[in-house]
Chain A
């Protein structure tokens, strides 16, 4: 599978929302989130990019974290979505989708060659 590296500034715009949505699926930990994002075709998200996003989401009360025993390794930090997180996810996903649709709409109008 060809690994596409998207422009950093695009990913920066939507990463927090995507991370929140992945954690909202079910409780998970950092490395698993990165794998999920990669599976979804968003490219490789390094720890140095991912963990600050998780930290910010937690600080804003949208996630909570807890350390659990790993399988024979050091503990893993698990993240779970909060009620406030679910509310924020719905709102932001809706807003993001509207925004993206408008951008695509403009590209269509201005002859960017979109179908």
Chain B
């Protein structure tokens, strides 16, 4: 008989990999939650190893997605995803260039004033970021909730991630400004 939860709780290794594989196949979040709970419930009851009972996570995800007839909405997702990403990239670059120009006291790209380039960059960045965030909110959003307990089945985000996501760009902008200042000297 097994000593502990067979997949270390739904957030364990098999559950984590299955969640990711099902997401990649664009299975809706509520259905992903059902699948994770089914696997957990089944292997806990039978004492089987999840890979022995369900096969490798990516194979099981393939079988399940196929049985459900999940169509990958590639066109919409790709266009929206590319637009959002391009907007973020362009916006970020304009923002950095504008901040650098402010530091150096010169014009930014295309003869724009530093603050103008920074502002346009910020707007493009916000637009792109919001677009990408909206994509994750389709199909009931990104939440994967255990139908048995209501618990969130997604693996926890490491503590340092929010700090890095905000901190790194902020540091980069400050460095950009600083490099501009150095150019004056």
Contact = CB atoms under 8 A, between A and B. Distances in A.
A36 interface: no
B9 to A, nearest CB: 10
In this complex, which of A47, A49, A55 has the most chain B Cβ atoms within 10 angstroms of its Cβ? A47
A46 B53 contact: yes
A115 interface: no
Interface string A25-67: 0000011000000000000001111011101100100000001
Contacts of A55: 64, 67-68
Interface stretch (B32-40, B99-107, B128-136): B32-40
Contact of B41 (A46, A52, A56, A70): A70
A13 interface: no
Interface string B51-80: 011110001100110111100000000000
A77 interface: yes
For the residues of B in contact with A, the DSSP-based class is helix
Contacts, number: 68
Interface string B117-154: 00000000000000000000000000000011100000
Given A67-B147, A73-B44, A75-B148, A47 B39 contact: yes
Contact of A74 (B54, B69, B148): B148
Nearest to B41: A74
Contacts of B46: 31, 47
Contact of A30 (B38, B64, B68): B38
A86 interface: no
Interface string B83-114: 00000000000000000000000000000000
26 contacts: A30-B41, A30-B42, A31-B45, A31-B46, A47-B46, A47-B48, A47-B54, A48-B53, A48-B60, A48-B63, A51-B39, A51-B54, A52-B64, A52-B66, A52-B67, A52-B68, A56-B68, A59-B68, A59-B69, A67-B147, A73-B44, A74-B37, A74-B44, A75-B37, A77-B34, A77-B41
Give 10 closest A-B pairs by Cβ, nearest first: A52-B67, A75-B148, A48-B54, A47-B53, A48-B55, A56-B67, A47-B42, A52-B63, A74-B41, A47-B54
Interface of A: 30-31, 46-49, 51-53, 55-56, 59, 67, 70, 73-77
